[in-house]
Structures are given as structure tokens and as C-alpha cells.
């Protein structure tokens, strides 16, 4: 059985990916210092899979502590690196926090892969590396533009570090560019746990609907789009998770065609903010309390994916539609409310 180290395993995408890996026969360990995540998520993983996963509460910026995990687990066949700060707005206010955390932690984990000869590496990247694209859908060959935030820049630099490390023969690597991950596991038990006021659209919607927030704001309705609000490619977190299992499978069978391959993980559909709100109101049978506010600095107007490469090379086929994304997000919010 192949053993996979997941960094950020207590996080939103990390926890869903651990569930998918276990369901596909992998042995998993996690490193997560819980600075932005809740260790109790491991109980949710156990509730779904029946497996309890060991999490090493280690700061990846501490090389010695990170190396000690590899010394204790010399049989790691692959690493999936999620651990990073990811709030666009916070990164604008505090760029050095993002440069230090996101880049030093990546360098440390790559150094350990080199020292301990870990053959396969999957990097959590983001559509934010495209900046504000001239047109959508974007393919993996779309020219990367200047990142619109320090967070986005750390993902551009991170991709380069992984690509050059793979070219140097440290490992074979896959870069996965997520579009907008939303929703929660259909079985419940795990989902998004924003810390403080949610920055992202879907948790802002569900927290407003459940009454945790008094009202949500739509950041701009005067964009050059069909209804004036921004367009994004929303993709279910379980579809994102399964892509990681497929990427590891491709690497372990040495099917990759380059030392470092890159894939867009999006549904291929673009939806406006108002379309997402309308869909939520339809599935929840509730009226959402929102108002229109000023545009949010750094927002991209329109971006959605051409996902044909992932469909063909990874045999990845997204399963969830927008209604199911919103339904699972809403079910999770209601479950959290019941736990109070």
C-alpha cells in the first residue's frame, strides 16, 4: 500500500483529499500545525472512512521538525502539499507573512523530498496564477499575467520552484490549478471551516442564510458581464479531491509525459455571483439577505477553465453540478449550526 504525506491535512481541500485517498487504498499521514485549521476535522475523516489518520502538528517553516517526520516515516511514496495561507485580502495587507509562510514551507518540504528520495509530488496551485486573463476559458498554456495579489504571486513562485525541482530530478511532479472549490462531502462530517468572517462567496452565503452573518455584500454589479457581477468557475471540493488521487496514480504508473505536468481543475462553466445566489435560494427555499457594495480590489472580472487536459490525461470527470455544490454547502452549514 502506497503511503502519502498530505501537508495541510486538517484543511478544507486537504481533509476531503485524505478521504478520497483512503477510499482508493492509500495509507495517509498528515502534517498540519492547525494555525488555520481545526484538528477535530480528523474525527470527521474517521467518521466517513473508519480510519484514524495521524497528524503531526508541525510548522513546515521549521526544517528540523519537518525533517523529523520524514525520519520517522522513511516509506513515503508521495507528498501532496496543500499547507499555505490563502486569503487574498490578507495577503495584500501582509505580504511578508505570505512570502515567508508559503515559500519557506514549500522549500522545506521539497528539501525533505530530496533528502529522503520521495518520488512523487503534487502541488496545490490556483487559477489565481493566471491573473486577470484577457479571455476565458483559460487553458494550461494561457499566458500567466502578473498576479493580482501576494497570495497569487506565492502560487506563481511555488509552481516555478516545483517545476525546477522536478527538472533537476528531485521528483516527478504535478501542479493542480484549482478554480473555485466549494461545497462539502455529501456524507457530512467535513466541510469548509472559515476562521472569522468568511472571505469567500459560498461560506458568506451559507453563514448569512443560517443567521451567523446579518447580511452579505455583492462586491460590484457594474462589471462587463451578463448581469454585472463577476464570473467564476465553481468546482465541488470532492471533485478537486479525486483529481489528486488520479494525479498520484498517473505519477506512480510513470505515465506523465513531462517531469512536471500542470492541470486546470475547474468545471469548465462560468457562473456570475447573482447566478450562484439564485441557485442557493432555489435549493434552500430561502431568500438571501444581501446588498450590492463597491467592487473588491484585486477581483478578476471573469475566469473559468478549459478542463479538457485533466479530463483526457487524468481521466478526471467532475461529477457535481452547481445545485449539488450549493446543497452540500448548505447541508454542512446546517450541520455546524446543530453542533452549537
In the complex, which residues of this chain contact ligand WQD (CB under 6 A)?
Answer: 86, 88, 126, 128, 178, 180, 199-201, 204, 216-219, 230, 232, 273, 296, 299
CB of 226 to ligand WQD, least distance (A): 14
Query: One of 26, 130, 151, 223 is an active-site residue; which one?
Result: 151
Given the complex with ligand WQD, which of 8 and 29 has the nearer CB atom? 8
How far is it, in rounded angstroms, from Cα 153 to Cα 262?
Answer: 17
Which C-beta is closer to ligand WQD: that of 112 or that of 205?
205
Choose between 201 and 288: whose C-beta lies nearer to ligand WQD: 201
Find the radius of gyration of the CA atoms of the chain: 19
Cβ pair 44, 15 in contact under 8 A: yes
Calpha distance 311→317 (Å, rounded): 6
- Helix residue ranges, H only, the chain: 12-23, 41-49, 63-72, 88-93, 95-98, 105-115, 150-167, 201-210, 237-252, 273-284, 308-313, 322-339
**Is 46 or 103 the residue whose CB approaches ligand WQD more closely?**
103
Instruction: Name the residue nearer to ligand WQD (CB basis): 58 or 204.
Output: 204
Q: Which residues are CB-neighbours of 71 under 8 A, at least 6 positions away? A: none
What string of DSSP letters covers 193-235? --SSS--SHHHHHHHHHHTSSS-EEEE-S-SSSSSSS-EE-EE
Q: Using an 8 Å Cβ cutoff, are 84 and 154 in contact?
A: yes
Min. distance of Cβ 178 from ligand WQD in angstroms?
5
**Cβ of residue 220: shortest distance to ligand WQD, in angstroms?**
7
Name which of 269, 265, 284, 274 is nearest 329 in CA terms: 284
- From CA 280, how far away is CA 277, in angstroms rounded? 5
CB of 41 to ligand WQD, least distance (A): 18
CB of 81 to ligand WQD, least distance (A): 13
CB of 88 to ligand WQD, least distance (A): 5
Q: Say if strands 27-31 and 54-56 run parallel, antiparallel, or are unpaired.
A: parallel
Longest dimension (CA), the chain: 55
| Smallest separation (angstroms) from ligand WQD to the CB of 281 | 15
When the beta carbons of 108 and 208 are compared against ligand WQD, the nearer one is 208
Residues 6+ apart with CB under 8 A from 117: none
Residue nearest to ligand WQD (CB): 230
Q: Which is nearer to ligand WQD, 44 or 220 (CB)?
A: 220
Active site residue 130: no
- Cα(320)–Cα(134) distance, integer angstroms: 28
Residues with catalytic function? 151
Amino acid at each position: 500500500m502506497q503511503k502519502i504525506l498530505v501537508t495541510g491535512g486538517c484543511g478544507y481541500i486537504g481533509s476531503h483529499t485524505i478521504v478520497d485517498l483512503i477510499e482508493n487504498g492509500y495509507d495517509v499521514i498528515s502534517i498540519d500545525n492547525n494555525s488555520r485549521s481545526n484538528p477535530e476535522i480528523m474525527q470527521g475523516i474517521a467518521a466517513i472512512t473508519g480510519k484514524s489518520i495521524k497528524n503531526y502538528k508541525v510548522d513546515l517553516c521549521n526544517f528540523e521538525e519537518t525533517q523529523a517526520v520524514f525520519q520517522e516515516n522513511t516509506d513515503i511514496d508521495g507528498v501532496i502539499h496543500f499547507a499555505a495561507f490563502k486569503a487574498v485580502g490578507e495577503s495584500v495587507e501582509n505580504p511578508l507573512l505570505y512570502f515567508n509562510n508559503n515559500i519557506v514551507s514549500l522549500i522545506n518540504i521539497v528539501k525533505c523530498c530530496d533528502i529522503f528520495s520521495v518520488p512523487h509530488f503534487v502541488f496545490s496551485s490556483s487559477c489565481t496564477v493566471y491573473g486577470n486573463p484577457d479571455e476565458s476559458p483559460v487553458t494550461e498554456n494561457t499566458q500567466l499575467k502578473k498576479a493580482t495579489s501576494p497570495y497569487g504571486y506565492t502560487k506563481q513562485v511555488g509552481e516555478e520552484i516545483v517545476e525546477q525541482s522536478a527538472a533537476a530530478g528531485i521528483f516527478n511532479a504535478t501542479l493542480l490549478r484549482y478554480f473555485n472549490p466549494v461545497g462539502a462531502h455529501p456524507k457530512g462530517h467535513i466541510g469548509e471551516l472559515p476562521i472569522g468572517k468568511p472571505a469567500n462567496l459560498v461560506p458568506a452565503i451559507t453563514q448569512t442564510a443560517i443567521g451567523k452573518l446579518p447580511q452579505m455584500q455583492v462586491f460590484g454589479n457594474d462589471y462587463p458581464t451578463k448581469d454585472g457581477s463577476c464570473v467564476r468557475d465553481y468546482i465541488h471540493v470532492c471533485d478537486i479531491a479525486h483529481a489528486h488521487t488520479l494525479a498520484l496514480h498517473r505519477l506512480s504508473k510513470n505515465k506523465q509525459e513531462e517531469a512536471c505536468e500542470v492541470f486546470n481543475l475547474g468545471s469548465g462553466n462560468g457562473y456570475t455571483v447573482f447566478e450562484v445566489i439564485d441557485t442557493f435560494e432555489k435549493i434552500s427555499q430561502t431568500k438571501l439577505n444581501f446588498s450590492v457594495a463597491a467592487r473588491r480590489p484585486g477581483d478578476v472580472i471573469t475566469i473559468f477553465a478549459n478542463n479538457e487536459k485533466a479530463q483526457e490525461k487524468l481521466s478526471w470527470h467532475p461529477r457535481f453540478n452547481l445545485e449539488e455544490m450549493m446543497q452540500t454547502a448548505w447541508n454542512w452549514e446546517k450541520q455546524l449550526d446543530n453542533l452549537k
